[in-house]
Structures are given as structure tokens and as C-alpha cells.
Amino acid sequence: MLLAILVILPFVLGGAAFLCRTGPAGRGLLVAGAGAHLILSVAAVFGRPEALFGGILLLDALGGLFLLLTSILFAAAAVYAVGYLAKEHGDERRDFQEGAFFSNAPQTVFIACLFFFLGSMTLVTATHHLGLLWAAIEATTLASAPLIYFHRHHRSLEAAWKYLVICSVGIALALVGNILLAAAGGAGAPDTESSLYLGDLLARAKTMNPMWFKAGFVFLMVGYGAKMGLAPMHTWLPDAHSESPSLVSALLSGALLNCAFLGILRAHQIGVAAGLADFCSPIFIGLGLFSMVTAAVFIIGQGDFKRILAYSSVEHMGILSLAVGLGGAAVFGGMLHAAAHSVTKAMLFLLAGNILAAFHTKSSHDARGVIRALPVTGILWVAGFLAITGSPPFGIFLSELTILKAALDAGRFVLAAAYLGLLGLIFCGMAVPVLRMAQGPSTPHIDPGPRGEDALSVGPPLVLGGLTLLLGLYAPSFFSDLLTRAAALASGM
């Protein structure tokens, strides 16, 4: 029953959040729920619980890796939210960008939606039924849209609608992909019913109709790719990440994108089993490289530091796609990259929230001298920049090196050169604004706020920063084993 409890618990807690009459009670529930979910997730990932409901709920290493990342990030975001929500009361306030007045959504709604968001993502990772996985990914959209619209001004409303419309179009395309996959699986076994169970589709892969599968895979790649933030379907991502509260941006970038990636990997598993890896790989590589190019173009010269982080997510989703397309050892690098990117990007978004709260601007030109004004945040901001751009000794350096080596070993020298060149461009593009913000005298008249640099604002990013450093220096055997098993599944083995 562990998997059932893990999936149901966040929805129950979300309902309970509406009953909390005071802010402290709601925030206490959020932290307690996040802690309980993390403990249950660790038990499920390493305890390998039995399948439930005829295999509808089944946690393998691939789902387990993304479940563990989701739960860790949610716990960090929950602790950060205690300090954040204590400051973000519901009174009317002035927008620092345009001067207009707005008020925040009720905190009970915000906390409830956070739990519903967590429950939806948990279901994505814990099901082997592709129809239910599709429904869960759609549920993540519905649960997270109110989170993006927490600050009720016109920019966040526009971002929320853009997110809803683009992701809904994407999920509609993914539905067509699922129907085509079921048809492909049933084509080789006319006496059996069509099925969306992953196990059934893998078992029928050899007799699958290749044309139906190819059409289904393209629809799934475009549909889930929109949610994952792959270019050119990424256009919701910069606005949503920029206008959301920073802890929501951390969950969107570090956890939600992984869920959409998992949906694509499930289809890839079937494609490899059907002997159609040669069809899937060029699509992964093409979209991966195009995403990296798009990110490089928009990062260079970008002045909004939250949008820089958003485009960085487009880059890293491209790297994940590229790794799967290369196959072999690159897939292990991709799994390590997913883990390292999740914790690093969440760390950076939480730090961006600290900077935004103190400087009241998202402009990297106006937020100067962060290290002087917010010493812990400033140092972590620079460390996070080095980590996210693949500098040693952080985890992303190791994962990007693994992917590069796999490309060279496969004789893909032009691809390896393009990959290295784009990484170099993005490093330079991010270095200018990040270092400009960190160095120099502090901007006059900054407002550190009533909580300043307290443990709640710097503790979660500090822990996440420690994790990304640990991934680069030493991965415990139990985690390496999880990565290896997840990579084997993602490779279709």
C-alpha cells in the first residue's frame, strides 16, 4: 500500500490545507506534509514496493529517480515557503515594476495547490499506465497554473494563461500520440484488446505496426516536449518562470520538466524494444541541439535574471534530449544530468527570490553588489552559476563530460564540437550578468526585508548546493545503482 499512500497523501493534505484558518497552521502543514512525503519516497525508491491495482501503480528505477528528485525539491521549497509566505500577506501592495496595486491569492489556496501539484507529479512517476500518466501530466498543469498566478497582477495572469494554453495544446497532441501507440500495439495482435499498459506495449513491441508507432512517437515528442520546455515549443517557460514566486519556479524547473521528460522516455522504451531506436534518436538529437541554440541566443544579452534561469532550463532540457539520442553511456550521463540540474536550478531560483525580495528588481543591471548586501546569497549565487554552467567540481560538470565522452567515443565529432561550442557560448552569456550582479558596491536603498538572510531563506539553497557539489565529488553506491538502473530503462534495456 506504500505507493497508494504516497500518491493519495498530498491530495488529502491539499484538502486539509483549506481547513487551516491561520497562516502558521497552513505553513506547518506544508512542512510536515513535505517531510512525510520525502520519508515515504525514500522508502518507496529503495524499498521497491509491490505493484498495485494490476500494475497501474508500479515504481521502477526511472520513475523512482524522478520521484526522489521531486520530493527533495518539494521539501526544500516547503521550508523556504515558511519564510516567504510569512512576508507575502494578502494585503494590497504596490507592484515594484509598474507601480500598480495588486493583492496575492489566499495562502490556503496556494498551499493546497502546492500539495495537488505534488500529488500529480507523484502519480506521473508511479504509474505504468500511459493513459493515467497523460492524465497526471494534465493535472500538473491545472494544479500549477494558480501557483503562477499567486501575485494577482496582469503579468502573472498573462503568464498563467500562456502556460495553460500552450501546455493544453501539447497535452492534446500527446493524447493523439497515446491513441496511436495503443493502435500500433494492437495492430500486431488483432485478437487482443488495445492496451496502454507499458508492460503490454513492451511485450507487443516486436509485432507493433511501425508506421503507427512512428506517428505516435512524433505526437508524444511534440506534446510532452512542449511541457518539458524543448524548443521551439518552450515559449510558455520564460514567462511562467519569470512571473511565478521563486519557490514555484524552482518546482517548475526542477521537478515538473522531469515529469514531461519521463513521459517521452516511456515512449522511447517502447521504440527501442520495437527496434525503432534509429527513428527516435535523430529526433532527440535534433530537438536537443535546437534547444541549446535557442537558449544560447536568448541568454546572451538577457537582462532579466529570472528569465536567464528559465532559458538555462531550455538549454538543460536540450542536453537531456541529446543524451538520450546519443544512447550508450550518454544516457547514464543524462540521468546524472537530470539529478544535478534539478537541485542546482532549484537552488538558483530560491536565491533569485532572495535577491528579488531585497532589490525589488529582476534586472541584472540594477541588482548590483549582491555579495555585499546579501553575503550568503551572493556567494551561493556565484557558486550556483558555476555549477549550472558545468564548471568543476559540481555534478553538471561530470554529467556533461560523460555525454561529451560518449559522443566522441561514438565518432560524432561534429556533434561533440557543436555541443562544446554551445556550452561555451552559454557560459559566457550567463557569466556577464551573474558576475555583474555579484560584484561591486551594493545598490543604494535596497530593502533586505524583515527576514533578511535568515535560515529559512538561505538554508534550503545551501542544502541543494551541497547536493550538487556532492554529485560531482562522490555519489553513494545506492544512488549510483539507482542512476545505472534508470539509465538502463531509459535506454530500452
Q: Mean pLDDT over residues 67-92, rounded?
A: 91
Q: Which amino acid appears at position 55 of this protein?
A: G
Element (H, E) at 101: strand 101-102
What integer is the mean pLDDT of 7-34? Answer: 92
* 446 confidence band (pLDDT: 50, 70, 90): low
Grid coordinates belonging to 91: 494585503
Evaluate whether residue 42 is within a structural domain: no
The DSSP output letter for 390 is T
How far apart CA 138 and CA 255 sit, in angstroms, is 15
Full residue range of the structural domain in which residue 397 is found:
148-491
d(Cα 208, Cα 270) in Å, to the nearest integer? Answer: 10
Give the N- to C-terminal CA distance of the chain in Å, as an integer. Answer: 28
339, three cell numbers: 539529478
Amino acid at 146: P
pLDDT, position 331: 96
Mean pLDDT of 191-201: 81
pLDDT digits (tens, 9 = 90+) for 206-233: 888 999 999 999 999 999 999 999 999 9
Classify residue 315: in a domain, yes or no.
Answer: yes
Rounded CA-CA distance 158/160 in Å is: 5
Alpha helices in 188-304 (DSSP H): 198-203, 210-228, 236-243, 246-251, 257-273, 277-299
Q: What is the pLDDT of residue 283?
A: 97
Coil/strand/helix, residue 451: coil
In whole angstroms, give the CA distance from residue 46 to residue 338. 19
> Does residue 69 fall inside a structural domain?
no
Distance between CA atoms of residues 210 and 185, nearest Å: 9
The CA distance from 132 to 138, in Å, is 10
pLDDT in tens, 328-372: 999 999 999 999 999 999 999 999 999 998 998 899 898 889 999
Q: How sure is the predictor about 152, in pLDDT bands with cuts at 50, 70 and 90? A: confident
Per residue in 125-147, is it b (16+ CB within 10 Å) or e — as a string?
Answer: bbbbbbbbbbbbbbbbbebbbbb
**Total number of domains constituting the chain:** 1
In this structure, what are the phi and psi dihedrals at residue 94, rounded to the nearest 5 degrees? Answer: -95, 135
Q: Which three cell numbers stand for residue 269?
A: 522504451
Per-residue pLDDT tens for 32-43?
999 999 999 999
pLDDT in tens, 313-331: 999 999 999 999 999 999 9
d(CA 425, CA 311): 13
The three cell numbers of residue 331 are 544516457
Amino acid at 358: A
Flag whether 11 is in a domain. Answer: no
CB atoms within 10 A of CB 69: 22
Beta carbons of 55 and 14 less than 8 angstroms apart:
no
Neighbours of 74 (CB within 10 A): 31
Task: Indicate whether 5 belongs to any domain.
Answer: no
Does 72 map to a domain?
Answer: no
* 407 occurs within a structural domain: yes
pLDDT for the residue numbered 242: 86
102, 139 contact by CB (below 8 A):
no
Specify if 388 maps to a domain: yes
DSSP secondary structure, 293-349, as one string: HHHHHHHTT--BHHHHHHHHHHHHHHHHHHHHHH-THHHHHHHHHHHHHHHHHHHHH
Nearest to 483 by CA among 411, 368, 402, 372: 402
Mean pLDDT of 131-147: 95
232-269: pLDDT as tens digits: 998 899 999 888 999 999 999 999 999 999 999 999 99
Distance in angstroms (rounded) separating the CA atoms of residues 373 and 450: 14
